[in-house]
Each structure stands twice: as structure tokens, then as C-alpha cells.
Amino acid sequence: MSTSDRKIGFYNFAFHKHGRPDDELYFDRELFKDFLEDVTNLPETERLIRIEQYNKAICLETIVIDPTPGGFLIKVLFKSCKYNHNPKYMSSIDGSERETDKQPEEGEKEKTHLCMRINNLEAKVVLEERRSGITITGITNYLNNKLREYLTKNEKPKNFKLIYGIVPVGGFLQELERMSRLKISEIYTYKYMIGSEAYGLLDKEDLSMKEEIVITAKAKPKESLAKRTGAYIYNQITAEDSKVSRIRIYGNDQAGKDVMLDSLLIKKMEFINTTLDNDGTVNTASILGHMMVILGDEE
């Protein structure tokens, strides 16, 4: 059976309220899950969106939502096609050509796979990256289109939208240097540190509390945290007897796009090897299985 290497991109989804500072993001797990289930139940004609300027059609084909102790694991299959593109067929044997029987409104089906782990704080996203598929921007625009319809139908406030952040796969310090602004830093440390005699801020015997806790630092409005601080904390992770287990930084890249740097995710491979079907397309069960393993490591 044939196999192929597929490039994987790492992202996160969050909600942004209109008219609020760009660093005030939040996530509503139940609303997001209910919204996805609602889209799944729509007729296929209502799940389809045509982007006339690009002669492209996008449709959410299937969603599988599985509960986990902390939230949900979600497997999504999108399909798309580029229409109004009907060139002749050419033989790979003798170079001969013949007219296509494809109609102007038809196009070759392209599959794009996406997996998410959602909890009360965020949606972690793993996306199959393909030039002929759907980009994270296209998927976000599609979901926002359907989200507006869902909120209108259910008479819910429409004062927010879905946005995505990029999780780079390069070196942490290298990507940190490329960022134009650092808005939020999350430092993961241990309960015993905050509950030590030096700090005495927590009850060390509280068994309901996780051993790992998160300290959040935010930049002042319009300002940025110092890059040297992020670099210093990251270097502490690899030090002997480190008091820091992980660091996450939210900010913007040079193009102004939202970026999340994660010292854990930053180590991930950006390619996975997956099985192909007889028609040369990626096997959905195979690639989703690999993607779910990647997300499973993040529990």
C-alpha cells in the first residue's frame, strides 16, 4: 500500500470580542462544540460555501466529537473543489489530448483534515497543510460564516468572532526573536514552589489542585513584554533542578498575525507519514489517527 508524507501545521482557536483590546481573548468550549454539532446537522447544500473570487467551493463533510476528561477531541473532514477550470486531459503515455467531460460548476474533490482538542481554555488545532486544500485562513472564514448563521438562528449575541493563532515548529528562541510583540506569557511551575516557606501562597496539602500551576504575565496595553525575559525563562527549562516545566507566549509575528509559542509544541515534527487510497488521495482514517496521537500527547 502506498504512503505519503504530509505536512502538519499547529494552530489554536480563540474567540475575540468586537471592540475589545486584541489581547483579551477567551474560549467557550460548550458553545463551540454545540456550534459544530449544529453545522454537522445541516443539509449538505447549507454546509457548502462558494468563494466566487477564487472559483472555489468549501464544504464541511464530517465531524466526530469524542468526550475526554478535560473536554473533547474533534476530528473534522473538509472537502473543496476549484470550479470553472476545465482544461483538456493529456495522456502520460503518448502525450495525446482529449476534451474533458467535466462541467464548469464541477471540480476535483480535495480533502483537508483537521483535528482539535478543546477544553475550557482553548482549542488546540492540528491541520493538514496542502496547496490544493483549505488553509487555516479559509477554514476560519468558513467557520465564522457558519457561526454568524448559528448565532442568528439561536438568538445569541453576535459580538465576537473566531480567530486563529499560529504555533510555529521552528526553534523556540528563533521564533521568539521573530515576534514583533509579546502580549501574554504563561509560566508553568509546580505547586510546591508557590506553597513553599519562601512564598507561602498556597496550601501544599490541597489534593484537589494539580501539581503543575500556571503563572500569567500580561503586557500593558499597546506595549510588549521583553524578549529577553522569555528567552531567560525558556533557558531555565533545560537547567538542572529547573523550577519551570513549560512556557507559552502569545503575541504577534512581523506580519501582525497572532502567534503562540509553546516550549512543548515547538518540538513537534511537521511531517507525518500516512497511507494513500487506491485513487492516490490520503486515507482519512490513517491521517486522522496520526493527528489524534499528536494531540493526545498534549493532555
pLDDT category at 22 given cuts 50, 70, 90 is low
Mean pLDDT for the chain overall? 83
Here the cell at position 298 is 498534549
Choose between 238 and 245: higher pLDDT: 245
Residues 13 and 139 in one domain: yes
List all residues 6 or more positions away from 230 whose beta carbon is below 8 Å from its beta carbon: 176, 182, 185, 247, 249, 261
Whether residue 1 has pLDDT greater than 90: no
Residues 223 and 288 in one domain: no
**Do residues 50 and 30 make contact, with C-beta atoms less than 8 angstroms apart?**
no
Using CA atoms, how far apart are residues 267 and 179, in angstroms rounded to an integer?
A: 18
Task: Kindly state the average pLDDT of the residues 258-273.
Answer: 72
CA angle 143, 147, 153 (to 5 degrees): 150
CB atoms within 10 A of CB 26: 13
Between 243 and 129, the more confident residue is: 129
96 lies in the same domain as 2 = yes
Same domain? 192 vs 139? no
Characterize the bridge pairing of strands 48-51 and 56-68: antiparallel
Residue 25 — left, alpha, or beta (φ > 0 → left; ψ -120 to 50 → alpha)?
beta
Instruction: Please give the single-letter amino acid code of residue 224.
Output: S
Residue 9 has pLDDT above 90, yes or no: no
Same domain, 58 and 148: yes
Amino acid at 145: N
Cell numbers given for 123: 482549542
Residue 299's pLDDT is 45
**For position 208, what pLDDT does the model report?**
58
User: Pick the residue with more confidence: 144 or 298?
Assistant: 144
Which residues sit opposite 217 in a β-bridge? Answer: 185
**Average pLDDT, integer, range 256-272:** 73
Return the minimum-mean-pLDDT range out of 112-121, 165-174, 206-215, 241-250.
206-215
The answer on 275 and 234 residing in a single domain is no
Residue 110: its pLDDT value, please? Answer: 92
C-beta of residue 27 within 8 angstroms of C-beta of residue 121: yes
Q: Do residues 149 and 274 share a domain?
A: yes
If asked whether residues 231 and 128 sit together in one domain, one would say no
Same domain, 58 and 82: yes
Q: What does DSSP say about strands 97-98 and 3-17: parallel, antiparallel, or unpaired? A: unpaired
Question: Residue 229 pLDDT more than 50?
Answer: yes
* pLDDT band at residue 243 under the 50/70/90 scheme: confident
User: Torsion over CA of 205, 206, 208 and 212, rounded to 10 degrees?
Assistant: -80
SS3 state of residue 41? coil
Share above pLDDT 70 across residues of the chain, in percent, rounded to a whole number: 85
> What does the pLDDT read at residue 32?
96
- Do residue 208 and residue 159 come from a single domain? no
Q: Is residue 65 scored above 90 in pLDDT?
A: yes
The arithmetic mean of pLDDT across residues 39-68, rounded, is 93
Q: What is the pLDDT of residue 49?
A: 95
Full residue range of the structural domain in which residue 278 is found: 1-169+268-299
Q: Which band of pLDDT confidence, cut at 50, 70 and 90, is reported for residue 40?
A: very high
Cα distances (Å, whole numbers) of residue 82 to 51, 57, 131, 244, 289: 10, 7, 12, 48, 27
What's the whole-number mean pLDDT along residues 244-251? Answer: 85
Alpha-carbon separation of residue 9 from 51, 120, 298 (angstroms): 23, 22, 15
Going by pLDDT thresholds of 50, 70 and 90, the confidence category of residue 198 is very low
Grid cell in block for residue 266:
515547538
268 or 30, which is more confident: 30
Computed over its alpha carbons, how large is the radius of gyration of the chain? 22
Quote the DSSP letter at residue 219: P
- Rounded to 10 degrees, the C-alpha dihedral 36/40/45/47 comes to 20
218 & 279 share domain:
no
Please tell me the total count of domains within the chain: 2
> Regarding predicted confidence, which is higher, 92 or 70?
92
Cell numbers at residue 170, please?
521552528
| pLDDT value at 194 more than 70 | no
Together in a domain, 189 and 240: yes
Higher pLDDT, 116 or 280: 116
